[in-house]
Structure 1
Amino acid sequence: MEPRDIEICIGRMNFSGQEWGDPKGKPLIALHGWLDNAASFAPLAPFLNGVRLIAIDQAGHGRSSHRLDEVDYSIWHYVEDLAEIVDTLELESFSLIGHSMGAIVSVMASAILGDRVEKVILLDGLFPMPRKPEDAPNALATYIQERKSFRKGKPVNRYRSLEHAVRVRCLGQFPVTRDSSALLVERALYQDGDAWTWRTDPRLNLPSPTRFTEDQALAFAEQMSCDAHMLYAKEGYVDALIEPYRERLEHIHFYPMPGSHHFHMDGETQSVADVVNTVMNS
């Protein structure tokens, strides 16, 4: 299934993306993870029924705009982006599917947008990673120091070919298959002279200057009023993250999945689609 390329201008930024399915189907906004892009939903799209899947390159990723120099990539800015995107698309109601960072943005948006969000489907991500209050000063100091070093210039990775970049991405922090890597890399790179380099904003690698406390982070998940479902890699890091809070999150339906962090792309695509189709058509 070939996607339709889309462009969404919210005034202060331009967002690119890909869209699949019936333009009059139920709108399902898809938000990818950190350093991925809209193409991460391409394997899933052909298996979905009755939905208009709208995958967005989040700010600084894929082919979307980078943030202005004075604006950082704190998680709440992505939530603000989403709120403006759905307004621009004139969507009175919609559902969300998010992977990793995209899942966190989906939870936070669901908590503040209320009845406009009908259903949320989370893939290996739930609430913002909390930080102990006493760690805040050191975290801010680290951010300021690294941002200072960044302004002096850091080398950008360049590759002699797309295939070289594909092989490197296969072995990233969250490894993926060659086919999945090719999808992500093709959308994330551009040719610069005789080499290929990332479109991705390198500032995405800066540490977060501040984070929510544990109770603040959990409040977003607790205050979702929509139908909520979470699929997670049962051998991954998210399982341990959510285990202490299951009683507080009893309104969320949990589905342990085999595979790695990108199970929706690699190995479990059909199983994920089965859950999405059941949720979206119930």
Structure 2
Amino acid sequence: MQFSEVEIPVPWGFISGRWYGNQEVRPILAIHGWLDNLGTFDRLIPLLPDYIGVLCIDLPGHGRSSHLPPGINYGVYDLVYIIPCVVKHFGWNKVSLLGHSLGGIMSFAYAAMAPDTVDMVISLDVLLPMRVENSLAIEMFSSNQEKLLVEDDRRRLADKDKKPPSYTLAQMSRNIAVASLDSVTEDLAHHLLHRQVMKSQNYSDPDKFYFSRDGRVKYFSYWDIDTGLGVEMARRIGNKPYLILKGTESLYLQPRSDEVISILANGNPHFEFHKIEGGTHHLHLQSAEECARYIVPFIQRYRPQEDQSNRENNISFQEQPSKL
């Protein structure tokens, strides 16, 4: 499928993206999950309606987007800021969101914060963040602080021409499969690798590569949305077109999201929830065709082709960005 490379300026650099398909109308904004990049949508995008484009972005520190400045760590709550950055850059009046995992959490949060600017949400295998027990949360926070210090030291040494660890592509594919618990299998790992590896400059390892993403993203600040807050957020979203897909083999959409889902669904004829049989957490990558079976009619219903000529949905790169 044809695409154009996009760079969206932000105060610390740029957000890298690919705009697939139609660029004459406002696209769907697709946001990937933690430690992934826009390549996670490679298999799904060609299956979506061709009359509307999809803008897939790499989050900061991921893929080919700029890393945050030294001394600034990655937090889930702060990443939500990327959505209004993109909206403002293109001057959209509305935004349609497609999010997987972290991207789905960001979409839920933004839809609650600015419901009047969101016209539909598609969430893949997530709603609220996974709950971590208090004792484990403290240990994880403590461990992450130590690892961030190590990562800061490693970055300083890298600035002095010490190269990061390098691997063969086969080793990298295996690393991704292990880290994802085979949610991204070795034969699918190349969809992520093409955005986040660089060839080693070490002449003794000419056939090796290193991960180019920011090592600090591995130790991001966890944001827990408790059920009470989640319920209030769902109430603010209201009767908005909202599609949630869950992989039956995934544990990421936990039972604690049930009450929030019931609020989104209550009296809302535009809410849909479907399970993808055998689907893993990366259900849109492993089971793209099955996901498209639900996503395509949802898009056709709430971003129909006949509405794409509406001036509000059209894009003018010359017009002034809307104020948020």
For 2:20 and 2:128, locate their aligned partners in 1 and report how far apart those are by CA, in whole Å. Answer: 27
1:223 aligned onto 2:236: yes
Structure with the higher strand share, 1 or 2:
1
For 1:178 and 1:22, locate their aligned partners in 2 and report how far apart those are by CA, in whole Å. Answer: 32
Q: Deviations over 1:188-222 (max 9, x none)?
A: 10112133111111111115266444423443344
CA deviation after TM superposition for structure 1 residue 34, in Å? 0.8
Task: Specify the alignment match of 2:75 in structure 1.
Answer: 74
For 2:187 and 2:2, locate their aligned partners in 1 and report how far apart those are by CA, in whole Å. Answer: 16
Q: Which has the larger radius of gyration?
A: 2
For 2:255 and 2:213, locate their aligned partners in 1 and report how far apart those are by CA, in whole Å. Answer: 28
CA deviation after TM superposition for structure 1 residue 183, in Å? 1.4
Amino acid at match of 1:69: P
For 1:264 and 1:177, locate their aligned partners in 2 and report how far apart those are by CA, in whole Å. Answer: 13
Q: Deviations over 1:64-119 (max 9, x none)?
A: 01111232211111111111111112111121000111110111111112221100
Q: Unmatched 5+ residue regions in structure 2?
A: 156-162, 302-324
2:243 aligns to what SS in structure 1? Answer: strand
For 2:86 and 2:129, locate their aligned partners in 1 and report how far apart those are by CA, in whole Å. Answer: 21
1:281 aligns to what SS in structure 2? Answer: helix
For 1:21 and 1:151, locate their aligned partners in 2 and report how far apart those are by CA, in whole Å. Answer: 40
CA deviation after TM superposition for structure 1 residue 272, in Å? 1.6
Amino acid at match of 1:254: F
Amino acid at match of 1:278: P
Task: Specify the alignment match of 1:196 in structure 2.
Answer: 209
**Structure of higher RCO (CA pairs closer than 8 Å, 6+ residues apart):** 2
Please give the TM-score of this superposition, normalised by the length of structure 2. 0.77
Identity %: 25
Amino acid at match of 1:103: G
Q: Tell me if the contact between 2:96 and 2:121 (Cα under 8 Å) persists in the aligned partners.
A: yes
For 1:11 and 1:224, locate their aligned partners in 2 and report how far apart those are by CA, in whole Å. Answer: 29
Task: Specify the alignment match of 2:66 in structure 1.
Answer: 65
Task: Specify the alignment match of 2:127 in structure 1.
Answer: 126
Identify the match of residue 247 of structure 1 among 226, 244, 262. 262
Matched positions, count: 280
Task: Specify the alignment match of 1:257 in structure 2.
Answer: 276
CA deviation after TM superposition for structure 1 residue 140, in Å? 4.8
RMSD across aligned positions (CA): 2.6
Q: Tell me if the contact between 2:112 and 2:234 (Cα under 8 Å) persists in the aligned partners.
A: yes
For 1:164 and 1:145, locate their aligned partners in 2 and report how far apart those are by CA, in whole Å. Answer: 26
